[in-house]
């Protein structure tokens, strides 16, 4: 595998920073479970791997599937809460269980300079180049964005290959090895796919929240769509990335973005 290009070392994030705003993720109240133990899985939005419940009234859930080995279950009917942003589940079988979520696209429009700053902060160099080539850098950015997120839990201390499933979303993050099978610290490779093809040169972040502190590392994916991060077996983790393309329906918006995340943890 080619060496990843490191953009920055691990660093602290500041709340309110435009650079890392609006992440979306699935967050179980626990990641390591007993058989039939009830757990809440929350749909979260925010910064610095801290946030609040997403407002599920503002979008349609297109996918909320539970995967375990070769089985798949649609659990959209189990979504509850005033903001329609949590699901209570339990798992009767030992092993890894993967929850995948995708929603309908939402619209946003940003003024030109703010949109350009946002593109730079998310590493969306492809869009910046297109705007420059088309003379659009002083044009506001009209964007539709969709979430494509997953979380992995472990039941009864058993690991299996569920962690590596491609769940069929436009943007997929797939670990090359099981996060629950690593030692105290290990290197884990993650593959990024867009429409089933490797996404090269994508900016990928590894977030680590532990003892009330959040740190992150940023890497660019190689030609195989892969990045490798050192993972410590503590706290909670999120791997995230964003990809944006010109929208097919230009009357609807100029751009369509996809926000992906993959969470796991050790409590």
pTM for the predicted model, two decimal places: 0.91
Tokens of 118: 């946002």
Helices (H) and strands (E) in the chain, counts: 2, 20
Residue 126: closest CA among 8, 9, 250, 242 = 242
Q: Are 41 and 100 in contact (CB under 8 A)?
A: no
15, pLDDT greater than 70: no
> Could you read off the pLDDT of 90-113 as tens digits, one per residue?
999 999 999 999 999 999 999 999
Residue 193: closest CA among 175, 207, 212, 217 = 175
Q: Are 260 and 173 in contact (CB under 8 A)?
A: yes
Residue 159 is predicted with a pLDDT of: 94
Q: List phi, psi (to 5°) of 157.
A: 70, 15
1, pLDDT greater than 90: no
> Could you read off the pLDDT of 53-91 as tens digits, one per residue?
999 999 999 999 999 999 999 999 999 999 999 999 999
Q: Where are the domains of the chain?
A: 5-265
8, pLDDT greater than 80: no
> Could you read off the pLDDT of 129-159 as tens digits, one per residue?
999 999 999 999 999 999 999 999 999 999 9
Residue ranges of alpha helices (H) inside the chain are 112-121, 125-133
Residue 22 is predicted with a pLDDT of: 81
Residue 5 is predicted with a pLDDT of: 42
């Amino acid at each position: 595998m080619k060496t990843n290009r490191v953009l920055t070392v691990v660093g602290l994030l500041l709340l309110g920073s435009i650079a890392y705003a609006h992440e979306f993720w699935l967050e179980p109240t626990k990641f390591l479970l007993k058989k039939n133990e009830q757990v809440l899985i929350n749909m979260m939005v925010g910064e610095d791997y801290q946030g609040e419940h997403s407002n599920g009234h503002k979008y349609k859930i297109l996918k909320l599937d539970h995967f375990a080995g070769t089985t798949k279950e649609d659990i959209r009917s189990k979504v509850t809460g005033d903001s329609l942003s949590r699901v209570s589940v339990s798992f009767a079988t030992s092993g890894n269980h993967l929850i995948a979520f995708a929603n309908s696209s939402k619209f946003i429009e940003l003024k030109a300079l703010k949109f350009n700053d946002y593109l730079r902060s998310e590493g969306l160099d492809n869009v910046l180049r297109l705007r420059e080539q088309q003379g659009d850098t002083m044009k506001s950015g009209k964007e539709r964005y969709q979430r494509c997120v997953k979380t992995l839990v472990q039941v009864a201390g058993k690991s299996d290959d569920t962690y590596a499933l491609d769940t069929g979303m436009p943007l997929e993050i797939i670990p090359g090895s099981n996060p629950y099978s690593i030692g105290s610290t290990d290197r884990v490779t993650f593959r990024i796919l867009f429409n089933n093809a490797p996404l090269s040169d994508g900016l990928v972040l590894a977030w680590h929240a532990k003892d009330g502190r959040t740190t992150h590392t940023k890497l660019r994916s190689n030609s195989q769509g892969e990045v490798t991060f050192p993972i410590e077996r503590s706290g909670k983790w999120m791997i995230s990335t964003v990809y944006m393309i010109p929208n097919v329906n230009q009357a609807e918006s100029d751009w369509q973005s996809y926000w992906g995340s993959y969470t796991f943890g050790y409590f």
